[in-house]
Amino acid sequence: MLEIKNLTVQVGERRVLNDVSMSVPSGATCVLFGPNGSGKSTLLSTIMGLGSYKVVEGQIILDGTDITYMPIHERAQLGIGLMSQRPPNLVGVQLRTMLKVTGHGKVDPAKLAGTLGMERFLERDVNVGFSGGEIKRSELLQLAAQNPCIYLLDEPESGVDLQSIEKVGTMIHELITGGIACAGKREREGKSALIITHTGQILDYIEADRGYVMCDGTMYCSGNPRELLREIRTKGYEECIQCRLVKMN
């Protein structure tokens, strides 16, 4: 599905990703752990083709197609969907309109919003005056309309209160497993996801197949996501770095 091969990325003269390699198989869910400022969001933005991130080495492969230098809209058409950690307010753009555009006219906004309990937000401008949890649910609703084959989710727990995290976590589980009736004809078994998490709380709601740990723009280790999370919680990220250094030597 998604392969990242020896990816090195710069912003201006500053290197922000260093020789990063990882993969997300078709139908698999992978989580990416790492401290703040470690390059996790940069990786997702680079996969999506956002911002001023310049790929200086490596490749991004989606279903056998090299998308490393492909425009954003073409990546979206191929089936990449991104939920940002801090999406912008879209003044003057109603959520209903956004769902119609995102779903290419193939979705009924009211019906889709009803499955997620978001009917009362349809006439409101996207994200304007929304709480943290409501913004996340709005983003997930737009992803449901887009119906991508791979979800890139940037810290879905961020800014969400304890009451809302269950709704957000359940929505993510339903999207990945096909429990939400999305637009289009992609099969549920083809859904993949790469989820950034700082706390690991999202693992209370989803089953992840593999975990990765990134620090300082470098992918340090991978393995069972729950075992990695347990090590991180008890020993911190420094342990992952030391483990990598020992293996390299």
Record the pTM.
0.89
The DSSP element (H or E) to which 69 belongs, if any, is: none
pLDDT at 242: 72
Q: Tell me, what DSSP letter sits at residue 25?
A: -
C-alpha distances in Å from residue 239, one per residue of 8, 13, 221, 233, 246: 24, 30, 11, 10, 11
Number of helices followed by number of strands (H, E) in the chain? 8, 12
User: Residue 98 has what pLDDT?
Assistant: 92
Predicted local confidence at residue 187, as pLDDT: 42
In the chain, the domains with their CATH numbers are: 2-248 (3.40.50.300)
- Which amino acid would we find at residue 222? S
Which pLDDT value is given to residue 161?
76
d(C-alpha 115, C-alpha 106), whole Å: 16
* Two tokens, residue 119: 């009917």
Q: How far apart are the C-alpha atoms of 39 and 214, rounded to whole Å?
A: 7
Burial 213-247 (b: 16+ CB within 10 A, else e): bbbebbbbbbeebeebbebbeeeebeebbeebeee
The Cα 217–Cα 244 span in angstroms is 14
Tens digit of pLDDT per residue, the chain (249 long)? Answer: 899 999 999 998 899 999 999 999 999 999 999 998 899 999 999 999 988 899 999 999 999 999 999 999 999 999 999 998 888 889 999 999 999 998 887 888 998 888 778 899 999 999 999 888 888 889 999 999 999 999 999 999 887 777 778 888 988 998 998 755 444 443 445 589 999 998 889 999 999 999 999 999 999 889 999 999 998 988 888 776 676 555 544
Contacts of 242 (CB under 8 A, 6+ apart): none
Separation CA 112–CA 183 (nearest Å): 9
The residue count of the chain comes to: 249
Residue 3's nearest CA partner among 47, 57, 53, 49 is: 47
CB-count burial class (<10 Å; 0-12, 13-18, 19+) for 119: middle
pLDDT of residue 180: 56
